[in-house]
Amino acid sequence: MSTSATNRTLAISQHLSGNATAVSVFEAVENLPLDPIFALSAAYVADADSNKINLGIGAYRDNDGKPWVLPVVRQVEQSLLNDKSLNHEYLAIDGLRTFTDASAKMILGSESIAVKEKRFLGVQQISGTGAVRLGSDFLFKINKNATVYISDPTWGNHLQIFGDSGFTVKTYKYWNAATRGLAFDEFLESLKNAPLGSIFVLHACAHNPTGVDPTHEQWKQIAAVIKERKHFPFFDCAYQGFASGSLAQDAWAVRYFVESGFEIFVAQSYSKNFGLYSERCGCLTVVTSTEQQAINVRSQLCRLNRSSISNPPAYGARIVNAVLNDPTLFTEWEENLRTMAHRIIKMRSECVRHLTDLKTPGSWDHITSQIGMFSYTGLTKAQVKVIKEKFHVYMTDNGRISMAGLNEGNVKRFAEAVDYVVRNA
């Protein structure tokens, strides 16, 4: 037994025995480092430089660098405020059913065969993080010997969530540093070589952190191998509508898998596409093979919800529910989505234009070919360090930037900073 484990065992034994001189039961608890993303944000806030740029946090900003509350969200909030029939009673354990049904239909498509055959369900959770965790805990409960594969690189929380559920977690190669694109052949090899019945975590659209998605043809090949190897596809969908501006286009992969006969999990988040970051509004959508299986799975997910959060929060779900179930509000929301998506696309073009004007060494076409909130710049950890210290530009150590943090007032300055570190760092 390790020294740390021995100390913990001794502390607990002394505590339980009532030993007056016992050390604290928490004596051997280690202080973990801060979450890197939120630590980066804290460093940005503490920086007094007036020209600082925050490209670390994954939250949309308008052209003035300010958080943007979607106009349709403002409208619904006012309506909720004036609705005297609303109260603060508990939601059902699986959440607001009109919200989860609408959420499932949004990702699957209202004409989906799974919807028509009633072999789908949705369970409300604490945004995408909670949805991934709920799905992970359930899958471990029914198939604890499976191996979970996450992309390399991926959203930083995936490893921790699936590992904390109890799974053995491995990675599949996703990023080709030489081409700054998808390592498709290696991805397929991972699918072929993984044990039968493994769980593959797939990004539905706007892959985080690379911004690189498979083409439709590549998705078809991925699906074929997953079917052949009897793997289970677990989609993480944090950016539907936000990536391209089209809800249907961003849901293409998920819908193709369902049309191809797969059972799937989809973790949905409304943080980005509704701007409801602090409301923690999300849904775990499940497609099964039969209607009865959907009923059974819902009962099991409700039990897990009951022992973890009891009931999900109502406010964010009420906002999303109002929009998804009202054609006029839905149309307005789609326009809000296009506003955000198109501004980010414009910033990608402006960034590359400035780098081209500066004759920055290397090719930067990957910035415009990537989609969604993030761009994987290809900058090294050493270059990221210099750009932070010399230019007060904050990004993650792997060179990922949030394109939403760029605007007309700082994109040229950012390009100049990149040009400097590429030439000198």
CA gyration radius for the chain? 23
- Whose tokens are 């959420």? That residue is 103
Number of neighbouring beta carbons within 10 Å of residue 410: 19
Q: What is the DSSP-derived secondary structure letter of residue 64?
A: T
Q: What angle, 0 to 180 degrees and rounded to 10, lies between the N-to-C axes of helices 252-259 and 97-108? A: 90
The active-site residue, picked from 101, 137, 213, 236, is 236
Cα dist. 151→159, 212, 226, 242 in Å? 10, 12, 15, 21
Q: Are 255 and 112 in contact (CB under 8 A)?
A: yes
Three-state secondary-structure class, residue 269: strand
252 annotated active-site: no
Q: Please provide residue 198's backbone torsions phi and psi, each rounded to the nearest 5 degrees.
A: -75, 165
The active-site residue, picked from 105, 137, 155, 213, is 155
Three-state secondary-structure class, residue 170: strand
Three-state secondary-structure class, residue 233: strand
From the list 83, 177, 120, 141, the residue with the least C-alpha distance to 379 is 177
Please give the full DSSP string across 362-373, using - where no structure is assigned: S--HHHHHS-SS
Cis peptide before 327 (omega within 30 of 0): no
84 annotated active-site: no
From the list 401, 370, 369, the residue with the least C-alpha distance to 383 is 401
155 annotated active-site: yes
The active-site residue, picked from 272, 333, 364, 388, is 272
Please give the full DSSP string across 95-132, using - where no structure is assigned: --HHHHHHHHHHHH-TT-HHHHTT-EEEEEEEHHHHHH
Q: Give, for 425, the enclosing helix (H) or strand (E).
A: none
Locate 318 and state its tokens.
């009420």
Please give the full DSSP string across 21-43, using - where no structure is assigned: TPPPTTTT---PPPPHHHHHHHH
Range 269-292 burial, b when 16+ CB lie within 10 A, else e: bbbbbbbbbebbbbbbbbbbeeee
Query: Looking at the annotation, which residues are catalytic?
Result: 155, 236, 272
